[in-house]
Chain A
Amino acid sequence: MPHPLADAATARSTLVTMWEIRRFEEAVDDLFARGLMHGTMHLSIGQEASPTGVCLALRETDAITSTHRGHGHCIAKGADLVRMMAELLAKETGYCRGRGGSMHIADVETNNLGANGIVAGGIPIAAGAALAYKLRGEDRVVACFFGDGAVNEGAFHEAVNLAAIWHLPVVFICENNKYGMSFSTEKSMLVHHVAEKAAGYGIPGVTVDGNDVPAVYEAMETAVARARAGEGPTLLENVTYRWKGHSKSDKNLYRTRDEISEWQEKDPIPHFEAQAIEAGLLTAEDVAAVRDEVVATLRAAVREANSAPDADPSDLLDSVFAQA
């Protein structure tokens, strides 16, 4: 819950989270390229500041919902890297026993209510979880992640409106990475900022630099405080960018190399490293040590996940329904 620059320990753990997200996705990218990973995946490389800053403002008892581009959300909320990797490697020990893959990871223990393969599909679900907490009088907040592509779906409108009229403890977090697959936000909406849409629901809308962890954290902390006070939802827009394509089918014909490299220069991770060093919380050696440590963590995670048994089809039919 502390500010990412509150003290050395928090600065370090914040940096670890961001590097874990980056290295997890690079490992996945590499495994896929070498034909060792199946399916498709949606990488969030370049967007690490958003889930990290958001989840830092949450308590363990608070919940999240996530999206198809959800590795960062899961990791920032505390998911186990080995179980995540095992899921992507189609192992029985994965979060979904190989039935869900990258797009359906949920982690009940960390109150991660699930990634979602349907754009905007998780937004009403987040409102519903917040309704449950409110009905039970629990002091818990839901952080609902989605992309800019989701805000033109009806589910976004219906869910934000319900949360607004019922003053639900939820924060809607749009990770505006500029493209819904190949369709740019310039073409998909006439307002400049997704946050402007908040006015239509009578709730606050805030746009922040989504590559700056402290900025994301500060905006999120305000939104969470409002939600906890029973004042209802906030629409937070973290402006960021995904370096990689939408998914593995992306030939990247809709944007220029210049545009991508311009955003790569705004890499959120070295940006935060510089902030922490400047604040006197970390040294250059500390930063280098974090990088090495996370490389080792991911190597170990891939190794351990790989050695697990493959997903087992024997009880597929029995696992459609929960048993009473």
Chain B
Amino acid sequence: MTDQTRVITYAEAIREAIGQAMDADDRVFMLGEDIGVYGGAFGVSGDLYGRFGGERIRDTPISELGIVGAAVGAALAGMRPIVEIQFSDFTNQAMDQIVNQAAKIHFMLGGAANVPLVLRAPLGSGTGAAAQHSQSLEAWFAHVPGLKVVMPATAEDAKGLLLAAIDDPNPVIVLEHKLLYRTSGPVAEEAFRTPLGTTAVRRQGRDVTVVATGIMVSRALEAAEVLAEQGIDISVVDPRTLTPLDAGPILDDVSTTGRALLVQEAPGHVGYTAELAARIAESPALYRLLAPIKRLSGLDVPIPYAPQLERSVVPQVADIVEAAQTLVKES
């Protein structure tokens, strides 16, 4: 940890990134529901309204389609808008502007215009908010040509990836896990960038490559501690950005360990881990496998309310431990 590095929360890291971007560039502004005096539903915008005022920290009516569309127009007209969608589930309301407009404009116009737009949205379960406030929709966005999709797993990445997203001339969807907002980690004070499309190896192991995103990264790291006591040494690899995907470190690690465990909170059917499994299967890493690729996903059900039900539909630390053990036993 350098002198300028402190331990701050994931939410604070995001706020710091936005504040630094707004200080450095007049084109950057934020719009979303209850981001002003209220400070954001998850407290992310905090005191930004006090610092920058209502023109640049722009409270909106409940109008997700209008908000994202206005951001697309502002981006086309030379601004760098950051949209906060209060819950990523509500991106459904704005899907035309995200998918048909933001993602396609640069391509449809033959490169004549850019849409440098950042859309931040909390995803995931674990807050008891049930089926319409708890989804993990990353695979939807990752499937659309023209969108970059970012899932920061640590406070450091939340800041560095967001600053890189703001610099990017394309629409970038940043999916922040709700349970991570209050987690803390070391983050440098300076306005550093973590390039989009760079995979992080969070832990280097010998026996199993666990690929995880978002909240599943910390769960995999916890599982690694448990497994280490049993003599199983796992790698934890975090793609950080689903699009563009830096598959190299994943394939390299799988080639070393010979076992791939792909973990996600989202439902398994047609999920992002299916893409990762296919990438491994299409690469020479396939010949190094000692056991079939294993996916550990959320159940293919909506997120239920009751806490014991909610926990049971998405992978927990114990599930990762068990899946890794099974992979080792099978080979």
Contact = CB atoms under 8 A, between A and B. Distances in A.
Contacts of A132: 73-74, 77-79
Interface in A55-95: 63, 65, 94-95
Contact of A106 (B69, B100, B109): B109
A154 B92 CA distance: 13
Interface string A136-178: 1000001000000000001100110110010000000000000
Contacts of A131: 70, 73-74, 79
Contacts of A94: 110
Contact of B70 (A97, A117, A162): A162
Interface string B249-274: 00000000000000000000000000
A320 interface: yes
B146 interface: yes
B102 to A, nearest CB: 10
A88 to B, nearest CB: 13
Contact of B110 (A100, A130, A161, A324): A100
Interface residues of B, number: 45
Interface string B72-86: 111111110100000
B273 to A, nearest CB: 23
B241 interface: no
Nearest to B103: A320
Contacts of A22: none
Given A135-B55, A321-B146, A324-B167, A113 B112 contact: no
A126 B77 CA distance: 10
Given A159-B66, A161-B66, A96 B110 contact: yes
B150 to A, nearest CB: 14
A124 interface: yes
B66 A95 contact: no
A114 interface: yes
A104 B96 contact: no
B200 interface: no
Contacts of A104: 108-109
B97 A124 contact: yes
B126 to A, nearest CB: 31
Contacts of B55: 135
B29 interface: yes
B140 interface: no
Contacts of A98: 110
B113 A154 contact: no
A320 B145 contact: yes
A302 interface: no
B167 A124 contact: no
Interface of A: 63, 65, 94-100, 104, 106-108, 113-114, 116-118, 121, 123-133, 135-136, 142, 154-155, 158-159, 161-162, 165, 319-324
Interface of B: 26, 29, 55-56, 60-61, 63, 65-79, 81, 96-97, 100-101, 105-114, 116, 145-146, 148, 167-170
